Amino acid sequence: MKYSVYFCLILHYINDMPDYNVKNISSLKTRIQIFDKIIVVVWVGLIVLIYFDISWAVAVMLVAQLALYIIRRRMKKDLNQKEILAKMVEERTAGLRKERDKVVQESKELSDALEALAKAQNELVRKEKMATVGNLTSGLVDRILNPVNYINNFSGLTISTLQELRGEIDSVRDSIPADKYEDICETLEIIDTNLSKINGHGCNTVRIVKAMEELIKTRHSNITLTDIRTVCKVNVELARKHFAKTIELNGIDLRLNVPDTPVNAEISIDEMNKVMHHLISNSIYAVSKKLQKQNFSPEIVIRVIPLPDDRTEISIRDNGIGIEDTIKSRIFEPFFTTKPTSEAAGTGLYLCREMILNHKGTIDVESRQGEYTEFRITIPNSQNITADE
One-character DSSP codes across 215-258 = HT----PPPEEEEHHHHHHHHHHHHHHHTHHHHHHHT-EEEEE-
Kindly report which listed range (58-62, 137-141, 328-332, 349-353) carries the lowest average pLDDT score.
137-141
Longest dimension (CA), the chain: 168
Q: What pLDDT score was predicted for residue 11?
A: 42
pLDDT band at 14 (very low <50, low <70, confident <90, very high): very low
* pTM of the predicted model over 0.75: no
Higher pLDDT among residues 283 and 11, named by residue: 283
Q: Beta-carbon neighbour count of residue 126 at 10 Å? A: 13
CA distance 163 to 51: 148
Count other Cβ atoms within 10 Å, centred on residue 61.
19
**Is pLDDT above 60 for 16?**
no
DSSP 3-state helix, strand, coil percentages of the chain (rounded to 5)?
65, 10, 20
- Residue 129: the pLDDT is 66
Indicate if the pLDDT at residue 217 is higher than 80: no
User: Average pLDDT of the chain?
Assistant: 80
Lowest mean pLDDT among 283-292, 323-332, 366-375: 323-332
Lowest mean pLDDT among 174-188, 200-214, 358-372: 200-214
Question: What is residue 97's predicted lDDT score, i.e. its pLDDT?
Answer: 85
Question: Could you tell me the pLDDT band of residue 244, with boundaries at 50, 70 and 90?
Answer: very high
Predicted confidence at residue 389, as pLDDT, reads 39
Write down the pLDDT at residue 263: 92
**pLDDT at 119 exceeding the cut of 80:** no
Give the pLDDT band of residue 354 (cuts 50, 70, 90): confident
- Report whether pLDDT(167) > 60: yes
Across residues 265-285, what is the average pLDDT? 92
